[in-house]
A and B are shown apart, each in its own frame.
Chain A
Amino acid sequence: MNRKLLTAFSAAALVSSPAMAQELKIGFLAPMTGIFAQIGKDMENGFQMYLDEQKGNFAGAKVTFIVEDEEGKPPVGVRKAEKLARQDQVHMLVGGLLASTGYAIAPVSSRLKTVYVLSIAAADDLTQRDLGKYPYIVRTSWTSSQPHHPLGRWACDNGYKTVVSIGADYAFGHEVVGGFQKAFEDCGGKVIQKIWPPLGTKDFGPYIPTIKRDADAIFSLMVGPMALQFPKQLQESGIKKPIIGGGTSYDEFVLPAMGDEVLGHVSALQYSAAIDTPKNREFVRKYREKYGKVPSYYSESNYTTAQMIHEVMKRTKGKWPGPAKFISMITQLKLDAVRGPVRFDDMRNPIQNIYIKKVERKRMHGYDKEELWNTVTKTYPDVSQFFTYSKAEFLKQPVYSREFPPCKYCN
């Protein structure tokens, strides 16, 4: 009797015997339910596609891929990370969608000495001011402000003098808007108003009428379903200003559901499905054939993450090198990825191309239907998370927030 109960209680623990040398266990965290479920699917599909291409074999190591639903909520992400690390004894955690989830899981990786690969979560400080606290993290995607520094510079170069920003009110939004504002004001532009609707806003009625009419352009940072509503409601309100957007406002995740209201809108990111290289064309065609939709940066980033992990495993001939060694090996990679050349800076964040993209309706990659694509209009090569600023200077300023940079030109 006692024995039976005991088995029942510890059944879960027994299943996960310590991992063997020639096995690689990857715990994947993405939202599978809730408002971000579709984004989570894109993340998983990207990683899964690379695994399928390699037939689940990374240089001799059999890959066990365990997906957990983090629901887009930081405490749930922490619980699932604990489950993956303790019960499934994974070699590494990958994923986490929201910046706040990244901030929440990083301490778990330090506590449990488990590698955490941030394949999406873009929270700036994880690879900036807080890096010292987290020896086992590496980022394969981007920091929130990374693409938006060049975008700020681009806005200056294209003659915009005054901009109103409207961005989702949470850490990611603050960092994106902050990055744009910093670069834009450093080259002579002025942000004259900052509006912060809560994350998940569907009705922008209370916000749109307050937009100052004398601005040259609007900078918008929308996430998920918000991205669909804002351009529509803006158009209905009759405001015809040029729109510049943060990366997630027009990514391929939301683009297919959009209409002509977004034509000509400009945004910046480290990936566009419309990058005109043979490598990307092949990726888009294969992905679309398999999952029936154009890959978003969520897909590409996780695909590339899987590729990077594979590259490390190739160098160790399929043997898990241990957390510290893995981190140092992955940051030495120089990869010709789908998004373009990628290498890492000394703070474990990628240095990569940033693409300024414009929404156009056209044919692309040999598809015979006219669709919306994020045409690349300008490429800033080899952009690091510090852009053209010196690392020391940059790290002296506080992390971008609602209050920083201060809105000097408001009112």
Chain B
Amino acid sequence: MKIWVLLGILAVVAALAPFSGPFVILLLAQVLVLGIVAMSVDLLLGYTGLPSLGQAAYLGVGAYLAAILATKFGFGLGWDFWIVVPLGILMGAATAAFFGLFAIRASGVYFLMITLALGMCVWGLAYRWNSLTGGDNGLNMPGRPKFGIELANDLAFFYVVLGFFVASFFALQLLVDSPFGKSLVGIRERELRMRILGYNTWLHKYIAYIIAGAFGGLAGVLWAHLNGIVSPSDLILTTSVDVLLMVVLGGPGTLVGGLIGATIVVFLREYLATMVQWWQYVLGAVYVLTILYLPGGIMALFKGGRR
């Protein structure tokens, strides 16, 4: 049911997009890209019970991969964009596979701290490895890909991003509905019992972490082309925190919640910042009120709480 409502809303947005302003389209695309990252965090936080504060790292490796290939080798600006996308996914997954070895050993606050530290490592690399990443200046993309359709057209780009979002959503929905997804929920609820039942919980969590990293990498490739620049400030802690808060705001353990959270945060931030200089307080208040009165996030309004 929920899926059809979401698809309906996305279809309406897609149909109306050509009539919205040129800047609104960019924001909508941004919402969708962040929505993919938020869903990947939701897989960890909402379904597996692992609060990750380092998801910006996977966004970052995907984005830097796309930017480095494009600026140094001119690769990924035509049909080869469709090679860069799986490369970005692989890159995210590979990084997560490496980092997961360290992170999955811990849980709770310790997991949070380790993912935070690993995320900062990637930021540090991006910031200091001048010859590859352009350091603090970042990398300016030479332009968006062209393959029959020109993605330089923001509307076309928006539809491509929308396609990726819907595909990601279905993939993740399939995953959480599968027996594997159910066992992740089991780990969230009581890991010890799952272990007694004979599940290799470490492996389950490790695989979930890698999958989340893969979606982070995918979002990163799109992110690079969305902004036209990749800079270390894309992968600072704030980005990870923002994404985590989007999930909490929308409702963890729902997938759709991430998209709702991303919509609220992106639009509130852009339009409030234009109106008032103390916009950050408003955003802060929204977070605090949500956590106090709607611990299940906004999605809880629709189904009366998670449990």
Contacts and interface: CB of A to CB of B under 8 A. Distances in A.
Interface stretch (B45-53, B157-165, B269-277, B298-306): B269-277
B30 to A, nearest CB: 8
A74 B231 contact: yes
Between B22, B26, B234, B279, the greatest number of chain A beta carbons within 10 A of the residue's beta carbon is seen for B22
Given A68-B273, A73-B233, A78 B228 contact: yes
Contacts of A82: 23, 26
A33 B20 CA distance: 29
Interface in B121-140: 127-128, 130, 135-138, 140
A13 B231 CA distance: 29
Contact of A75 (B130, B233, B280): B233
A104 interface: yes
Contacts of B26: 79, 82, 86
A5 B23 contact: no
Contacts of B135: 170-171
Sorting the interface of chain A by its residue count into under 10, 10 to 19, 20 to 34 or 35 or more gives: 35 or more
B229 interface: yes
Contacts of B30: 79
A236 B83 CA distance: 57
A87 B21 contact: yes
**Chief secondary structure at chain B's binding surface:** helix
A83 B130 contact: no
Contacts of B153: none
A79 B273 CA distance: 12
A6 B229 contact: no
Contact of B24 (A5, A13, A68, A104): A13
A83 B23 contact: yes
B277 A100 contact: no
Contact of B136 (A5, A87, A108, A170): A170
B227 A79 contact: yes
Interface in B261-283: 270, 273-274, 277, 279-280
Given A12-B21, A79-B26, A83-B274, 19 more contacts: A6-B16, A6-B19, A10-B24, A12-B23, A13-B24, A74-B233, A75-B227, A79-B227, A79-B270, A82-B26, A86-B22, A86-B26, A87-B22, A87-B23, A100-B138, A104-B138, A111-B228, A169-B136, A402-B130
CB-based closest 6 A-B pairs: A13-B21, A170-B136, A87-B23, A73-B233, A86-B22, A9-B20
6 contacts: A32-B273, A32-B277, A75-B138, A82-B26, A170-B135, A199-B136
